[in-house]
Amino acid sequence: MTSKASLRRIMFISVPAILLMLVLGFVHSSTKKIISSNILSSKKEKLLKLVPKSYHDGDVFIESLSVPETHLKSLGLNNGSDYHVVKNYGIPVALIIPAVGEGYSGDIKILVSVNMEGNIIDVRVTSHQETPGLGDKIEITESHWISQFSGRSLSNTTDVEWGLAPDGGAFDSFTGATITLRAVIRQVFATLNFSDAILNKGYDSLKKVEGIN
Amino acid sequence: MSDTSFFKKNNKQLWSNNLTLVRLIGMTPVLAIATTLANALALGLATLLVLISSNVLVSLNRKKLTEKTKIPFAILVVAALVTITDLVMQAFAYTLSTSIGIFVPLIATNGVIWDRLRVIAYNKTVVQAAYDGLVCGTAFLVVISIVGILRELLGAGTIFKNMHLILGSVAKNWVLQPFGENFEVLIFNFPCGAFFILAGLLAVKNIIDSYLHQCSK
């Protein structure tokens, strides 16, 4: 093998590589802005599904704040997780708090929206691996079980009542899904406790992360 | 081999030598992602575009390629094209790109593309390579769409769900539910259900083939 042939070979791979790199760089830089705004607006849309139109009438801004370390464990979240404050014309109207529960087969991720009086607006499961036909009744598309939480607050539901009806709690149960449902209830209760802490302390004191317009 | 005979022979990729149904190449996306017609069409179209353009780009440079450089060069080209497709899809069809997710970058590992590069792009002219890409890509698109329609119909009980993500707001009200509201056969939402459907398609194709064979006797 002569060095000339190997040089030609190197050239033939590196020149196209550089050219393609330039093309990729161009495509990346021209789509970067659109993609990040797509991600933000889809995130906003997903969050606003939990807050009905009656709470906001146009100029909505979602502020994302990091969950303080002291609450990470009770909510089942990782370091660096955010909760969100929905603002209508600059005035906070609702909190959206994530939580992760330990289900029958893996994590159940939920989002809970709470209004400024500390009442739950809505709860949604964003991802889970529960058994189809049994545990997946926590999805709004499968059953209305999850809407039982709407209107609940720490003041109208006592600590003991945060459980399934057979355990003496206030929430309906399904056969074959007890572990799943218990996990969801426990985490909803945890988010309410967290929202109570925020609403009494004032969220402004916490670090600001990012805003979604 | 004259030009016309190449094109005639190449058309066999549509039916009698169909890559997905006869040689069972490129099954992964068909099994994994074709849960709705919209997903199937999106991935099929993306694969078609990557297939044509990679065939053309490799064929353009085929005379400069040596035994040792042809595979690295093809990897470069396919990887770049797939990344571009992925970025463009994220920019202009974000919802669609989240629903087919990882399978857009995985087009780079699709057997159909590598088979066509190996058989056609390294040896044939640009026009022939482009034609081959069109034919094989269309064959793949048709198969994945049929699987998509059947899986959507059986697994979710709908037809044309989410088509507005591809065709714009015209298609928003196209959703049909021929079996009523709550029809779903769960297994068809999973890849194992897709295996049954693909097997069914293979069987149907073989029945048609043997019927045609008898007729021609």
Helices and strands in chain B: count of H runs, count of E runs: 9, 0
- The chain B residue lying nearest A35, using CA atoms, is B91
Sign (positive or negative) of CA dihedral A150, A155, A157, A158: positive
Backbone angles phi, psi at B139, to 5 degrees: -60, -45
Mutation target for A interface from B61, B78, B83, B192: give the one with most A CBs within 10 A.
Answer: B83
Question: Does B16 score more than 70 pLDDT?
Answer: yes
Question: Does B112 score more than 50 pLDDT?
Answer: yes
pLDDT for position B128: 93
pLDDT for position A8: 85
- Report whether B103 contacts B85 (CB < 8 A): no
pLDDT for position B2: 53
- For B115-156, write each residue's pLDDT tens digit: 999 999 999 999 999 999 999 999 999 999 999 999 999 988
Q: Do B84 and A24 touch (CB under 8 A)?
A: yes
- Report whether B48 contacts B137 (CB < 8 A): yes
- For A62-74, write each residue's pLDDT tens digit: 888 888 888 898 9
Q: Are residues A96 and A154 in the same domain?
A: yes
Question: Does B1 score more than 60 pLDDT?
Answer: no
Question: Does B159 score more than 90 pLDDT?
Answer: no
Looking at chain A, the whole-number percentage of residues with pLDDT higher than 70 is 93
**Mean pLDDT of all residues belonging to chain A:** 87
**Exposed/middle/buried for residue B177 (C-beta within 10 Å: 0-12, 13-18, 19+):** middle
Q: Which stretches of B22-82 are assigned E, i.e. beta strand?
A: none
Rounded CA-CA distance A107/B97 in Å is 25
Q: Is A39 in CB contact (< 8 Å) with chain B?
A: yes
> Which residues from chain B sit within 8 angstroms of residue A27, using beta carbons?
83-84, 87-88
pLDDT for position A212: 53
Distance in Å, alpha carbon of B91 to nearest chain A alpha carbon: 5
The string of DSSP letters for A47-92 reads HHTTS-GGG--S-EEEEEEEPPHHHHHHHTPPTT-EEEEEEETTEE
Q: Are residues A41 and A120 in the same domain?
A: no
pLDDT for position A191: 94
Rounded CA-CA distance B183/B200 in Å is 21
Rounded CA-CA distance B66/B68 in Å is 5
Q: Are residues A18 and A116 in the same domain?
A: no
Q: Are residues A86 and A69 in the same domain?
A: yes
Q: Is B64 in CB contact (< 8 Å) with chain A?
A: yes
Residue of B69, B84, B87 with shortest CB distance to A13: B69
Q: Which residues contact B194 (CB under 8 A, 6 or more apart)?
A: B30, B31, B32, B34, B147, B151, B188
Is the pLDDT higher at B170 or at B46? B46
pLDDT for position A213: 46
- Mean pLDDT of the region B77-91: 94
Q: Are residues A30 and A105 in the same domain?
A: no
Q: Are residues A71 and A33 in the same domain?
A: no
Residue of A16, A27, A38 with shortest CB distance to B94: A38
> Which residues from chain B sit within 8 angstroms of residue A1, using beta carbons?
none
Q: What is the dihedral of CA B120, B103, B84, B62, to 10 degrees?
A: -10
Distance in Å, alpha carbon of B87 to nearest chain A alpha carbon: 7
Residue of A12, A20, A31 with shortest CB distance to B87: A31
Q: Is A17 in CB contact (< 8 Å) with chain B?
A: yes
- The chain B residue lying nearest A5, using CA atoms, is B66
pLDDT for position B171: 78
- Report whether B36 contacts B151 (CB < 8 A): yes
Q: Is B24 in CB contact (< 8 Å) with chain A?
A: no
Beta bridge partners of A61: A87
Q: Is A25 in CB contact (< 8 Å) with chain B?
A: no
Q: Are residues A29 and A76 in the same domain?
A: no
A-facing residues of B in 67-106 (CB < 8 A) are 68-69, 72-73, 76-77, 80, 83-84, 87-88, 90-92, 94-95, 98
Give the range with max mean pLDDT: A78-82, B188-192, B203-207.
B203-207
- Mean pLDDT of the region B70-96: 93
DSSP label at residue A207: P
Mapping DSSP to helix (H, G, I), strand (E, B) and coil, where does residue B187 land? helix
Q: Do A9 and B88 touch (CB under 8 A)?
A: no
φ/ψ bin of A54: left (φ > 0), alpha (ψ from -120 to 50), beta (otherwise): alpha
Is the pLDDT higher at B88 or at A55? B88
**Mean pLDDT of all residues belonging to chain B:** 89
Question: Does A209 score more than 50 pLDDT?
Answer: no
Whole-structure pTM value: 0.79
Q: Do A34 and B91 touch (CB under 8 A)?
A: yes
Question: Does B89 score more than 70 pLDDT?
Answer: yes
- Mean pLDDT of the region A27-50: 91
- Report whether B68 contacts B10 (CB < 8 A): no
Looking at chain B, the whole-number percentage of residues with pLDDT higher than 90 is 50
| Per-residue pLDDT band at B189 (split at 50, 70, 90) | confident
C-beta pairs of A151-157 under 8 Å, 24+ apart in sequence:
A151/A119, A151/A120, A152/A119, A152/A120, A152/A188, A152/A192, A153/A117, A153/A118, A153/A119, A153/A120, A153/A192, A154/A118, A154/A192, A154/A193, A154/A196, A155/A118, A156/A119
- Mean pLDDT of the region A158-182: 88
**Exposed/middle/buried for residue B145 (C-beta within 10 Å: 0-12, 13-18, 19+):** buried
Question: Does B180 score more than 80 pLDDT?
Answer: no
Domain residue spans in chain B? 3-216
| Per-residue pLDDT band at B175 (split at 50, 70, 90) | confident
Q: Are residues A118 and A179 in the same domain?
A: yes
Residue of B69, B83, B92 with shortest CB distance to A24: B83
Domain extent at residue A19: 1-48
Of A48, A65, A87, which residue constitutes the final position of a domain?
A: A48
Q: How many domains does chain A have?
A: 2
Q: Are residues A34 and A111 in the same domain?
A: no
> Which residues from chain B sit within 8 angstroms of residue A16, using beta carbons?
61, 73, 76-77
Q: Are residues A75 and A140 in the same domain?
A: yes
Q: Are residues A107 and A16 in the same domain?
A: no
Q: Are residues A116 and A188 in the same domain?
A: yes
- Mean pLDDT of the region A6-27: 91
